[in-house]
């Protein structure tokens, strides 16, 4: 299976720059997710890979085969790229049966009828669709339609699989099942895969690597753990967290280690971080994920706060606090027993288990704290 090399890819629509100077290396057999908010250019990137859009600049290589190059004037049309694409709406042809939909690509390859029949039924069996050959798409459930779309894509054995939010039209449960199925399929087929989503959980569970995009630019590309634990900038940190992450504007008082910081909202409130030396007097933003906030009902070293809402989600709990100093809002997530003992309006003390420190001006990461060495790195 080929690797994918994208360099300097730019795509404009009139005056909007959908993708700008995108560089990306995807190893063969990888499962890379393009993740980002709506309108950031994920679909456009994917469509450029498929050949459905012609980029304005740049180069795309599949292995060492050049499928697009603005300089050399190469543009391989979609049919010649050996890629498969699954759309969000599945795009099943409503006037064709399941069998006709799936066999469409094979009939292009001029295989004998028997061979086509055999291959289609193999694929349908693989996806648990045997017996549905003669149904029309409108006679299938959403999940079944999605499987037919998958079958139609993989039956021609493409070397590269492209997905554009394939699961977002399905309900939560079905989405989980199909995620597992996609992972299995990817392992079995081994095709290089690019997967577009704006659901960070989906990206974290499926990918070997994630590329987080914003306004047509890749912000960070790395393994799920890297992107999750060591976001390179504030945008990635915020985007990768659910519920929303905590950001504390602060200032360094002692460079450390351990560094002492003061909250920007109330300099009297100080706390220590297992990091340093940190640049003094620079405005910083400290990012601590909800699950990295420790709560103590007993007076201690942390920041004093009051709980104002506790949302149990079954097993886990999400609680909202307001800091006494500066009135900042803090979200914490943790086991139910820790949270449910809190009474509204009773003080609690919050401390930071681990987090990342960003330069407020540039938004870039400066340091991390509280991680064990090697933690969060790729297991290899």
From CA 37, how far away is CA 35, in angstroms rounded?
A: 7
Secondary structure of residue 324 in the 3-state scheme: coil
Query: Per CB under 5 A, does 43 bind Mg ion?
Result: yes
Please say which residue, 239 or 321, places its beta carbon nearer to ligand ATP: 239
From CA 301, how far away is CA 319, in angstroms rounded?
A: 20
- Specify the DSSP element, H or E, that contains 150: helix 142-154
Residue 98 CB, nearest approach to ligand ATP (Å): 27
For other proteins, the binding residue among 89, 125, 346, 362 (CB under 8 A) is 89
For other proteins, the binding residue among 50, 150, 196, 204 (CB under 8 A) is 50
Secondary structure of residue 40 in the 3-state scheme: coil
For ligand ATP, the binding residue among 44, 233, 241, 246 (CB under 6 A) is 44
Edge-to-edge strand list for the sheet holding 57-62: 16-26, 4-13, 57-62, 65-69, 74-75
The window from 89-97, 193-201, 230-238, 342-350 that contacts other proteins (CB under 8 A) reads: 89-97
Which residues 130-159 are close enough to bind other proteins by CB under 8 A? 136-138, 145, 152, 156
Radius of gyration of the chain (CA): 25
CB 64 within 8 A of CB 133: no
Query: Per CB under 6 A, does 18 bind ligand ATP?
Result: yes
Residue 151 CB, nearest approach to ligand ATP (Å): 24
Query: Per CB under 6 A, does 198 bind ligand ATP?
Result: yes
Please say which residue, 39 or 370, places its beta carbon nearer to ligand ATP: 39
Residue 86 CB, nearest approach to Mg ion (Å): 13
The window from 44-52, 219-227, 244-252, 324-332 that contacts other proteins (CB under 8 A) reads: 44-52
Please say which residue, 36 or 276, places its beta carbon nearer to Mg ion: 36
Strand-strand pairing, 160-164 and 192-197: parallel
What string of DSSP letters covers 172-209?
A: HHHHHHHHHHHHHHHHHH--EEEEEES-HHHHHHH-SE
Query: Per CB under 8 A, does 283 bind other proteins?
Result: no
Residue 129 CB, nearest approach to other proteins (Å): 17
Tell me the CA distances in angstroms from 336 to 236, 290, 299, 348, one per residue in order. 28, 14, 20, 15
Please say which residue, 39 or 267, places its beta carbon nearer to ligand ATP: 39
CB 356 within 8 A of CB 376: no
Interacting residues toward ligand ATP by CB under 6 A:
13, 16, 18, 36, 38-44, 198
Q: Report the interface residues with other proteins, using CB under 8 A.
A: 13, 50-53, 77-81, 83-85, 87-95, 104-105, 108-109, 136-138, 145, 152, 156
């Amino acid at each position: 299976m080929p690797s994918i090399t994208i360099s300097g890819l730019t795509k404009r629509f009139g005056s909007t720059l959908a993708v700008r100077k995108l560089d990306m290396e995807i190893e063969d057999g990888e499962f890379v997710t393009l993740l980002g908010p709506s309108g950031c250019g994920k679909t456009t990137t994917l469509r450029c890979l498929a050949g459905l859009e012609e980029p304005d600049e740049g180069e795309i290589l599949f292995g060492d085969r050049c499928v697009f190059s603005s300089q050399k004037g190469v543009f391989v049309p979609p049919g010649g790229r050996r890629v498969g694409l699954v759309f969000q709406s599945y795009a099943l042809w409503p006037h064709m049966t399941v069998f006709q939909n799936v066999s469409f690509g094979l009939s292009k390859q001029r295989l004998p009828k028997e061979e086509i029949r055999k291959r289609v039924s193999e694929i349908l069996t693989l996806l648990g669709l045997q017996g549905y050959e003669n149904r029309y798409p409108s006679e299938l459930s959403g999940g079944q339609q999605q499987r037919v779309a998958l079958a139609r894509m993989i039956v021609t054995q493409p070397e590269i699989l492209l997905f554009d939010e394939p699961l977002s039209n399905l309900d939560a449960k079905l989405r989980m099942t199909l995620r597992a199925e996609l992972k299995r399929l990817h392992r079995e087929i081994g095709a290089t895969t690019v997967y577009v989503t704006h659901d960070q959980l989906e990206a974290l569970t499926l990918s070997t690597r994630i590329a987080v995009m914003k306004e047509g630019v890749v912000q960070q590309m790395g393994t799920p753990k890297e992107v999750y634990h060591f976001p390179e900038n504030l945008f990635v940190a915020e985007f990768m967290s659910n519920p929303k992450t905590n950001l504390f504007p602060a200032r360094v008082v002692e460079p450390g280690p351990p560094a002492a910081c003061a909250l920007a909202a109330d300099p009297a409130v100080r706390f220590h971080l297992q990091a340093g030396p940190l640049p003094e007097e620079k405005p910083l933003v400290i990012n601590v994920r909800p699950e990295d906030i420790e709560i103590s009902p007993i007076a201690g070293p942390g920041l004093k706060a009051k709980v104002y809402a506790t949302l149990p989600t079954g097993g886990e709990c999400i609680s909202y606090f307001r800091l006494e100093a500066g009135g900042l809002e803090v979200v914490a997530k943790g086991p139910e027993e820790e949270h449910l003992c809190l009474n509204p309006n009773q003080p609690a003390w919050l401390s930071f288990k681990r987090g990342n420190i960003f330069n407020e001006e540039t938004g870039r990461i400066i340091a991390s704290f509280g991680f064990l060495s090697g933690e969060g790195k790729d297991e290899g």
